[in-house]
Structures are given as structure tokens and as C-alpha cells.
Amino acid sequence: MDVFLWVIVPYLCLTTFVVGHFWRYRYDKFGWTTRSSQLYEDRLLRIGSPLFHFGMLGVVGGHVIGLLIPESWTDAVGISTEMYHVAAVGGGLVAGVMALVGMVILIYRRRTVGPVFSATTNMDKVMYAFLGAAIALGMWNTIAGSILSVGGHYDYREGVSVWYRSFLAFQPQPELMGEAPIGFQLHALVAFALFALWPFTRLVHVFSAPVGYLTRPYIVYRSRDDVQLGSHSSRRGWERIDK
């Protein structure tokens, strides 16, 4: 069972994530967008969207630190477990609450503002369910696990994180995850399901974060017959060959 849940399912999800993105980018560049609904409504969006997104950036950053950096490294730099714990829980709570509140505002907006609701696809709804569940479970783990110590103390940096790094290194140690509290297990499973859904949702816009904007020249010039004709790339099999 451990092997199925903590080896097979995660790798399947990861494969879907990678291959799915490749496929979506190859065949649906036109559909690759944020699908913003700001045009319809922007009073709630103005509060909810930055809250959610900046919160999520914090959450993602926290996960990167927590999952990818081994405890031995932080020990070596001289960060004690207590210091780390306080920073992680503090930062995690702030970012998590921001993301959660932002998301509640955004979902409320999505449900109550007519045009926004009618522009919501089924895939959006499924995605929101998984994303919401992942955030809620994550918050539960932080609050119940680290602050209230419900069900005893659990140091994820010696369990979940090690498993995650072993998973990324293709040397999975499923037993580590099997020992983790149910909250962490559910959080990981929901997150992997979200990764599998990712390429088929509007979440793809995460990978077009426009950091190149900081370095490119302001005005872009393009030759008419540079790479393609018109403003779309050619359909497969219809590319120009004389260049």
C-alpha cells in the first residue's frame, strides 16, 4: 500500500504534470492564459487576487525551503530547530492565511458576480476544490501539528521532506511517508492530484510568469516572415520550409 500511495501515484501524477504541460504548450498555446475576469468585476478582485497570489508565493517559497533544504544544512549554518520552527510556522501562517482569505474572497466573487460565474468552467470548479482542499489541509497541518501538537509531535523535516527529496532523486523511501500523520498524507495526496490536474487548468499561467519583462527592450520588433506568418504559429504540418 505504501508503495502504491507514495511511489506509484506520485510518479504518475508527476509524469502527467510534465508531459501534460509539454503537450498543452505544444498544442494549445492559444489557450495558455490567465483567463482574467477583471473586466467583469474589479472591486473584490483588487483585494482578493493580490492577497491570494502573494500568499501563494509565500506558501510556495516556504514549501521549497521546508521540503528541499535538508535539516543538516540549516544546522550547519547555525539555525537551531527552534529558530527554524518559529520562522516556518510564523511565515507559513501569515502566507497561508493570506492565501486562504484571498481564495475565499475570490471564490465568493466567482459565485456571486454573474458574469464571472458564467465564465467559470467545470475544470475551474474541480481545480478550486483541489486547491482549496490542499490549502486547508496545509493550514491544518501547520496549526494542529506544529502549534497545538494534536496527536503528538511530528517533525516533517525528518519524514515528509526526506521522502520528498528521495522521491525527486528517484530513490523513493515510501515508508517515511507511511509513518507520517494522516494530515500530512492527505495534504500530499491532494497536492499530487492537483499537480496531475495542473496542465489542464488555468493554473498553467504560473509557468508564464513574465520575468523576462525585466530584461527585454520595451518595444519588440518582429519581421513579418521571421518565424511565422500572421500572428499565430502555423498548424502542425503547415510550417514554412523555405527558411
Partner 1 sequence: MKIMAQMAMVMNLDKCIGCHTCSVTCKQAWTNRTGTEYVWFNNVETRPGQGYPRTYEDQEKWKGGWELNKRGRLKLKAGGRFKKLATIFSNPKMPSIQDYYEPWTYDYSTLTDAPAQEHTPVARPKSLLTGKDMKITWSSNWDDNLGGSAATLEHDPMLKKIADKVKFEFEQTFMFYLPRICEHCLNPSCAASCPSGAIYKREEDGIVLVDQDKCRGWRMCISGCPYKKIYFNHKTGKAEKCTFCFPRIEVGLPTVCAETCVGRLRYIGLMLYDADKVLEAATTTDEHGLYEAQREVFLDPNDPEVQREAEKAGIPRDWVQAAQRSPIYALINRFKVALPLHPEYRTMPMVWYIPPLSPVVDVVKDTGFDAEDKGNLFAAIDALRIPIEYLAELFTAGDVAPVDGVLKKLAAMRSYMRDINMGREADASIPEAVGMTEEEMYDMYRLLAIAKYDERYVIPAAHAEQAHSLEELGTECSVSEYGGGQQDLFGEGSGSPVPIAVENFQMLQERQTADSLASPADKSSRVNLLNWDGKGTPEGLFPRRSDDEEATP
Please check whether residue 168 is in contact with residue 17, taking contact to mean a CB–CB distance below 8 angstroms: no
Are the C-beta atoms of residues 184 and 156 closer than 8 Å to each other?
yes
Element (H, E) at 9: helix 9-27
Binding residues for heme b: 53, 63, 187, 205
Local structure of 167: helix, strand or coil:
helix
Give the residue, chosen from 37, 146, 161, 173, that forms a contact with partner 1 under the rule CB under 8 A: 37
Name residues contacting partner 1, limited to 145-184 (CB under 8 A): none
Q: What's 145's DSSP letter?
A: I
User: Which listed residue (27, 80, 147, 168) binds partner 1 by CB under 8 A?
Assistant: 27
Shortest CB 243 distance to partner 1, Å: 9
Residue closer to partner 1 (CB basis): 79 or 126: 126
Which of 1, 39, 76, 77 binds partner 1 (CB under 8 A)? It is 39
Residue whose cell numbers read 493554473: 203
Q: Please report, in range form, the residues annotated as the binding site.
A: 53, 63, 187, 205
Among 23, 29, 155, 168, binds partner 1 (CB under 8 A): 29
Q: Which is nearer to partner 1, 165 or 202 (CB)?
A: 202
Site string for partner 1, 197-236 (x = CB under 8 A): ---xxx--x--x-xxxxx-x-xxxxxxxx---xxxxxxx-
Contacts of 136 (CB under 8 A, 6+ apart): 100
Please state the closest distance from residue 94 (CB atom) to partner 1, in A.
17
Amino acid at 1: M
Q: How many residues does the chain have?
A: 243
Distance CA 199, CA 152 (A): 37
From 12, 19, 28, 175, residue interacting with partner 1 (rule: CB under 8 A): 28
Residue 46: CB minimum distance to partner 1, A: 5
CA geometry: angle 21, 12, 4, nearest 5 deg = 165
Least distance between partner 1 and beta carbon 61 (Å): 16
Q: How far apart are CA 20 and CA 152, in angstroms?
A: 39
Name the grid cell of 49.
Answer: 487576487
SS3 of 121-141: the string is: CHHHHHHHHHHHHHHHHHHHH
Site string for partner 1, 89-128 (x = CB under 8 A): -------------------------xx--xx-xxxx----
Q: Is 49 in the site for partner 1 (CB under 8 A)?
A: yes
CA 167 – CA 173 distance, rounded (Å): 7
C-beta of 87 vs 240, nearer to partner 1: 240
